[in-house]
Structure 1
């Protein structure tokens, strides 16, 4: 997979988080879908990766409500990819 520098950076950051759980949940999603993300989703991903790892983990698994700023189609795709979609 030949990625532009921005996507390569996002892929690296998603797989090298502060928590192994996020390496698996976020990193797995990004590895599988990075080539398909549009520029707006890349912006959302980069903003999401600036957040605290514990918060990010709890949002993905549904243990804490996702703040409005991050309640995007990208977050729903991440949750769905990891089978944590809200019923």
Structure 2
């Protein structure tokens, strides 16, 4: 059975909040709160795949220390913009 959208959004928000690094908790929670509701299925799929990445890597990508790999480049850039606001 397919997961209801509201359940998926709730699950992704929880995964955004409970990371290994406090900074990523803050960054991803803010991003999830502002953006997940407006994402289409493909966007949510990409975000969910990104959540499987290592927090150390995500932090380096978001802060610009290391270039984010494809297919995450545009998503990481968007997250970085949210973080800088």
TM-score, normalising length from structure 2?
Answer: 0.86
Deviation at 1:75, TM superposition (A): 2.1
Deviation at 1:45, TM superposition (A): 0.5
Structure 2 runs not aligned, ≥5 long: none
Provide Cα deviations, 1:7-65, integer angstroms capped at 9, x if missing partner: 11000000110110000111111012221111111011100000000000110010111
* 1-structure distance, mates of 2:8, 2:61: 24
Paired residue total: 81
* 2-structure distance, mates of 1:16, 1:24: 9
TM-score, normalising length from structure 1?
Answer: 0.84
* 2-structure distance, mates of 1:82, 1:25: 6
- Please list, as runs of the form range in 1=range in 2, the aligned pairs for 1:1-87 lying within 5 A after superposition: 4-72=6-74, 74-83=75-84
Runs of 4+ in structure 1 over 3 Å off: none
* 2-structure distance, mates of 1:53, 1:11: 16
Indicate the RMSD between aligned Cα atoms, in angstroms: 1.5
Structure 1 runs not aligned, ≥5 long: none
* 2-structure distance, mates of 1:57, 1:46: 16
